[in-house]
Amino acid sequence: MTALLYLAEDLGWAARGQPLIPYVATPPPDPDPEDPPPAPASWQAAVDAMDVTQAVLWYEAYSGHDGINPADPFDMPLQVQDLTGTGAGIDSQYDGEVIEGKVASRFRIRHNNVTIRRCRIVPSPTTIYAVQLYPTTGTTFTGCVVEFCTVAASNTEAAPFMLRPALTDSTAVTVRHNDVFGTITGGRLENRCVAEYNFFHDFGHPPGGHASGIRFMGAHGIARRNLLTDSSSSNLGMYLDQGFMHSVTYEGNIVGGTITMPDGRVISPQASPSYGMILGMGDGSTLEPYDLKILDNYWYGGYQFGLTSGNIPWGVDGNVRSGNRALQTFTVQPGSASNERTYLAGELLPFNDQ
């Protein structure tokens, strides 16, 4: 005969005449993890927030092979499992070639109008440049694009971009919406190259390495709206001692050092940039530059010394610094603790000419 069960004051169950068997409380289930905060709807919204962590969220969402293309909703992001290829190096084969959705150790652009799109570049130990014009200097290729690619290095000596064409009448290479990390530098561009909306972060810092951000040379170059968070020298540089420079524009870039996100993630923990920008005429300079524009850039802090360094003759010959400001409130030591200065979010920085 089946024993009768009864409930004793909500404490447990027992067979009639037997000791009470207490309930074993079941712990509540873990709450569902919170969705990550949404990225700002636009680049302008990200900078208008006056918080560099908002800028990081935007660049994380809109760069790399898995990034959203804000200009084309039909250009779908790719996940790692969507990519194909052996991981070996790839050279372009003909004018107008589109190389898309590949995994490679490096790319060489050897033709006109080549597009490298939504690829993941994992440099091998022997890779010197993740993407380069080939031969390295003096090419006359134009109309090339590297977009929505990820350069995922692992503390290697590789540089993500080596783009040093001859000076031509039209844009040689545009690199945009790329996610670059693990390299020891941000790249070297020259003569009608454009870098825009790229995210450079978490560089490798091998012993003896010299990390720096984007470095431009030559003429008619543009660095626009890039986020550069890592360096042991400068985030952005113009090195005029390497040759005559003119008609180069740095506009809307966001520069600084280590960033701690609200969820505890740390972006570029080893960053120690000396300056946000180095704009210098070294001993090798023989001609004064002209039409150099440093416009509406944003600094957010994290420097060893100061905001800029250099000796370009500003305010003459079309060389202009204007609208450069603090993205958020930060304190910087320009040379010594006695000169410590705090800049407020939105405040114009002292090296503007107008």
* Domain locations in the chain as residue ranges: 45-343
- Structure confidence at residue 3 as a pLDDT band (50, 70, 90): very low
CA atoms within 13 A on the CB side of 77: 16
Contact by Cβ (8 Å): 90, 70: no
Q: Tell me how far apart the alpha carbons of residues 18 and 15 are, in angstroms, rounded to a whole number.
A: 5
Report the length, in residues, of the chain.
354
Is the pLDDT score of 31 beyond 90? Answer: no
End-to-end CA distance of the chain: 97
Write out pLDDT tens, residues 99-152.
Answer: 999 999 999 999 999 999 999 999 998 889 999 999 999 999 999 999 999 999
Strands 120-121 and 103-104: what pairing?
Answer: parallel
CA atoms within 13 A on the CB side of 254: 29
What is the structure's pLDDT at 5?
47
What is the structure's pLDDT at 6?
46
In sequence order, the 6+-apart residues with CB closer than 8 A to the CB of 124 are: 105, 106
What is the structure's pLDDT at 309?
80
Of 45, 56, 36, the C-alpha closest to 201 is 56
Q: Across residues 24-30, what is the average pLDDT?
A: 62
Q: Decide: helix, strand or coil at residue 44.
A: helix
CATH of 45-343, one of 1.10.3450, 3.40.50, 2.60.120, 2.160.20: 2.160.20
CA angle 322, 327, 332 (to 5 degrees): 90
pTM: 0.88
Beta carbons within 10 angstroms of residue 303's beta carbon: 26
Residue 277 has phi, psi (to 5 degrees) of -140, 140
Return the higher-pLDDT residue of 240 and 14. Answer: 240
In sequence order, the 6+-apart residues with CB closer than 8 A to the CB of 186 are: 159, 160, 161, 180, 200, 203, 212, 213, 214, 215, 228, 231, 235
Q: Which two tokens stand for residue 3?
A: 């024993």
Q: Tell me how far apart the alpha carbons of residues 248 and 238 are, in angstroms, rounded to a whole number.
A: 9
Q: Tell me how far apart the alpha carbons of residues 348 and 298 are, in angstroms, rounded to a whole number.
A: 9
Residue 342 has phi, psi (to 5 degrees) of -105, 130
CA angle 293, 222, 245 (to 5 degrees): 65
Is the pLDDT score of 295 beyond 70? Answer: yes
Is the pLDDT score of 249 beyond 90? Answer: yes
Amino acid at 299: W
Contact by Cβ (8 Å): 296, 252: yes
- What percent of the chain has a predicted confidence (pLDDT) above 90? 62
What is the structure's pLDDT at 125?
87
Beta carbons within 10 angstroms of residue 138's beta carbon: 10
Phi-psi bin for 297: left (phi > 0), alpha (psi -120 to 50), beta? beta
Q: Decide: helix, strand or coil at residue 47.
A: helix
- Structure confidence at residue 78 as a pLDDT band (50, 70, 90): very high
- What percent of the chain has a predicted confidence (pLDDT) above 70? 84
What is the structure's pLDDT at 2?
46
Write out pLDDT tens, residues 151-205.
Answer: 998 866 788 999 999 999 999 999 999 999 998 888 899 999 999 999 999 998 8
